[in-house]
Amino acid sequence: MSVPGAGHEIKSVVIAPVDGVPRPGVLLYTDIFQLTESTLRTARRLAASGFVVLVPEIYPRGELAGKALEFDDAGKAAGLSGAASMPTAAFDEDRVSALDYLAARPDVTDLFVTGFCIGGHLAFRGAFDSRVSATVCFYATGLQDGKLGADVADSLSRASDIQGRLLMIFGSADPHVPADARLQILSALYAAGHEHAELHVYAGGEHAFMRDIGARHDPELTDLALREAVSFFTGRS
């Protein structure tokens, strides 16, 4: 399916329980590889926990539109190139389109956002929307230095724009978000008044430990992270 964007279509996948009961909607941002089966397996696990999950591609413009990339050097290079071609304003524009779509669905009650890697950064920016009541960012990259797309993103400096609840999960062995970067993120959140924001660091977790392809995958930490995300989204009920 496609979500209508501003002058373009955003290829997306919606996964939801089949009972049609109204439930929270989750906007799930992928990593740089877009709509891979690995990410969609995670989306299915979230949906099975009682959510309507929308997974849009993050590069709906240009040559990567509609493409899922391989987890190899060529795929990584293409994904990074796609990010470098997207100004922050374009990411934000697509976010509004995705949240508008979810909000208009009759089977969606609340709006949540989550994402992985660059998608974790996009999820953080998703929390700027006042309609979003809770956000979970998995190993979000680029928050500490503004690296997101074609320009320098102002994400961390806009932490005060977040009105909903926020959970951030990192691995301690993630070279993209080392200890000093995590400290910078937490300090900025506290300075913005988010003293109740949660930041969890999993000992030994590598970057992309939730991607179920490759040597960095940690099944136990993946299960833990998903349980914590579901618990957080549901208010730990």
> CA of 141: how far to CAs of 15, 34, 100, 104, 131, in Å?
26, 16, 25, 30, 24
Q: Which of 31, 117, 129, 218 is catalytic?
A: 117
Question: Is the pTM higher than 0.75?
Answer: yes
The boundaries of the domain holding residue 117 are: 2-233
Question: Given the structure tokens 């877009």, which residue do they identify?
Answer: 34
**If pLDDT is split at 50, 70 and 90, which confidence band does 41 have?**
very high
Q: Which of 121, 176, 207, 218 is catalytic?
A: 207
When the pLDDT of each residue in the chain is averaged and rounded to a whole number, the result is 97
Q: Is 107 a catalytic residue?
A: no
pLDDT of 213 higher than 70: yes
Mean pLDDT of 124-138: 98
Mean pLDDT of 8-32: 96
Mean pLDDT of 139-146: 98
Taking alpha carbons only, the member of 111, 120, 92, 6 closest to residue 53 is 111
3-state secondary structure of 34: coil
Our count of domains for the chain comes to 1
CATH of the domain at 203: 3.40.50.1820
**If pLDDT is split at 50, 70 and 90, which confidence band does 126 have?**
very high
Q: Is 174 a catalytic residue?
A: yes
Q: Is 207 a catalytic residue?
A: yes
Q: Which of 31, 110, 129, 174 is catalytic?
A: 174
**Paired strand residues for 166:** 135
